[in-house]
Amino acid sequence: MRRRVLPALLLTLLLCGCAARTPADTQTSPPPEESAPAAEYDFAVLPVRKDSIRTLYSQEGYEVRKITPYEGDYLVEYGDENDPDFSLLAWVFGQTGRRVQLAGMSQFTAYEITGPGEVHYTTTGQDAGTPWNGLPQEATVRVLGDETGKLVPEWTDVETSYETVWLDPAQPLFIGATEEGPVYAQRYEQLYDARIDADGLSFSFIPNGDSQEKAASFFPAATSIPPFSTAFDPEGRIFTIRLYNTCLESGGTGADVDEWLGDYPEDLYPYAFPAGSLGRDNIPSFRIVFREYDWEMDGEA
């Protein structure tokens, strides 16, 4: 009887050992997704979802216009519901809820995601804060840091690289104050110098010396280029730049403008920039000619 019991005991032990090493049942379906509380940023739960983006921006008074997912993150276009022409762009990290504003309020003509936290965009050049029409812009903006924060605390959130924008000369262009059409700022200037350099045609300006009012309008802290428009005549191959509220000569009226000139030389006026060719007629491709606006020849402004 003892010879029969021993093998039975060994078989029982072997079976017990096999049972101890049997793997657990494999789970064929993923567990339900759980939302973790956001520890640092503005979203209540993580990971971030589209509906929570719309809710948060709505609470902040913005209208979400488009959400583009990208590898778990989001590119968000949003703006003021009362101003549909201008928008903001922001990058939202899905895992942490970190939000980074990519560009100021602009009139975007196109944008696309070119990589993680990187967006290429173009704008019309319209200013959202003031009625001003500027040059169109093309740029690539990249978020600095990752989903957890900036590379350096208190440093900038983004890096922007602007590209040269080439425009069709046959398309009319206006740069300057606008309000339902061109509005020419009430600042008067005089052309002081013009030259051809490596970047093209450069201008410099001084105050108009015909009166104290015109001289005082040339406020140094807010001085910019005069409003201007362009036109191209394909038959005559003539490209025209019109500088508004700008003259070639001033200060010949005897007006006392010295007290408004500040650091300008006392004997600056009367001053005249010569009309006619700039003196580069030996350049075979073009020549530049300056003249005053002729109401009879050029018509109404």
151 and 43 share one domain? yes
114 and 75 share one domain? yes
Is position 24 within any domain? no
Buried b or exposed e, range 147-177, using 16+ CB within 10 angstroms: beebeeeeeebbeeeeeeeeeeeeeebebbb
93, amino acid identity: F
Strand-pairing partners, residue 37, are: 45
pLDDT digits (tens, 9 = 90+) for 141-175: 999 988 888 777 777 899 999 999 999 989 999 99
Distance set, CA 16 to CA 3, 13, 19, 83 (Å)? 21, 5, 5, 75
Examine the fold and report which residue of 110, 142, 163 is the final residue of a domain before the chain moves on.
163
Tokens encoding 242: 């019109």
Domain count, the chain: 2
Instruction: Note whether 257 and 269 are within 8 A (CB).
Output: yes
263 and 197 share one domain? yes
Placement of tokens 């739960």 in the chain? 45
54 and 141 share one domain? yes
Is position 40 within any domain? yes
pLDDT digits (tens, 9 = 90+) for 65-112: 999 999 999 999 999 999 999 999 999 999 999 999 999 899 999 999
Q: CA 230, CA 207: separation in Å to the nearest integer?
A: 23
Note down the domain range covering 246. Answer: 173-298
pLDDT digits (tens, 9 = 90+) for 207-266: 898 988 888 888 766 667 889 999 999 888 888 999 999 999 998 776 677 767 767 787
Model pTM score:
0.72
Examine the fold and report which residue of 129, 163, 197 is the final residue of a domain before the chain moves on.
163
Examine the fold and report which residue of 144, 163, 182 is the final residue of a domain before the chain moves on.
163
97 and 204 share one domain? no
